Amino acid sequence: MTTATDPDLDEARGLIEGALGDLLAVGDDALEAPWIWPDHGELDRRSGVFRIIEDLDAVTAAFDARGVARPVDQAIVAPATIARWELIGLLAPLTEGDLDADPGGGEWTIRQTVAHIISSQHSYGVNTAWWRDQAIGVSDERLPFPPDGIEDPAWDEAIAADGSTDQIRSRIHLALEDAAVRLADLSSEDLALAARWSGLPVTIAIRQGRWASHITEHTVQVDKTLVWLGRQPSEVERLVRLVAAAWGRLEANVWPRPQDAKAIGVALEAAQNAAATAASVRAAGPA
């Protein structure tokens, strides 16, 4: 494994995942129970969840307001971490039974869909690195294809989403981090090099831009599968998904690499505040 995530970002992600767990412990029928907004006064638990989203978005807005241009190799894949967290938010309340339930009609189970996302993300990293090494300048039908056997069998689709929901979430993180580290030094010239995607001649930039859209495409598939299974999300589950997405928008400012040394610290503090608010929402008394 070639991952080398910043330890503070790892800590922040753990805090956010813990916050999602705290919020999922609150039932829909308890959302109107009193919750004290520190330094302000009494609201309800639902308002506490929205305070988390609003606080995270305020930090994101402060990042955006700086107007600092990111290197193109970072900017082109940063949306993938937004997609990552939208998927994690959707998966957060699901049980292993949900993951393995057969929707019928020959459609994939949710576990199979997530395995495809994970395995494909590994493939993006390995194969794009191979294309970079070929340094081919013209993208047309004469392009070769990557050789067989360059991908790690540990990421095969048949096993990529084995295990518990926690293990699956870890694999999602690992697949993205591994690809980000492999391709951390792409230049603008590299992005213009020839490659293939889905058998078609493209550029490396197009392959990099596919990270986010591929995750999102199959997040929609998971949503459709849940409909086929007749599993309707609760209000709390919907709110948790919004919290995860809000964190994704913030994290996109510091992933795959922060713009400055203070940026990760700002993100970590935001995660700490989110976790503290989620814990207080969970601890609030019954209505």
Average pLDDT, the chain: 94
Residues sharing a CB contact under 8 Å with residue 6, sequence separation 6 or more, in sequence order: 254, 258, 264
Q: What is the CATH number of the domain that holds 161?
A: 1.20.120.450
Please measure the distance between the N-terminal and C-terminal CA atoms of the chain and give it in whole angstroms: 48
Position 206 in a domain: yes
For the record, the structure tokens of 145 come out as: 């294809």
Report CA dihedral (95, 97, 100, 102) to the nearest 10 degrees.
Answer: -130
- What would the pLDDT profile of 94-122 be if each residue is shown by its tens digit? 999 999 999 999 999 999 999 999 999 99
Sign of dihedral through CA atoms 17, 18, 24, 26? negative
Position 112 in a domain: yes
Structural domain range at position 105: 94-232
Position 286 in a domain: no
Model pTM score: 0.93
Position 60 in a domain: no
76: which strand partners?
A: none
pLDDT band at 3 (very low <50, low <70, confident <90, very high): very low
Position 208 in a domain: yes
- What would the pLDDT profile of 222-280 be if each residue is shown by its tens digit? 999 999 999 999 999 999 999 999 999 999 999 998 878 899 999 999 999 999 999 99
Position 193 in a domain: yes
In the chain, how many domains are there?
A: 1
Position 270 in a domain: no
For the record, the structure tokens of 281 come out as: 């929402």
- What would the pLDDT profile of 129-187 be if each residue is shown by its tens digit? 999 999 999 878 889 999 999 999 999 999 999 999 999 999 999 999 999 999 998 99
Position 115 in a domain: yes
What is the reported pLDDT for 13? Answer: 97
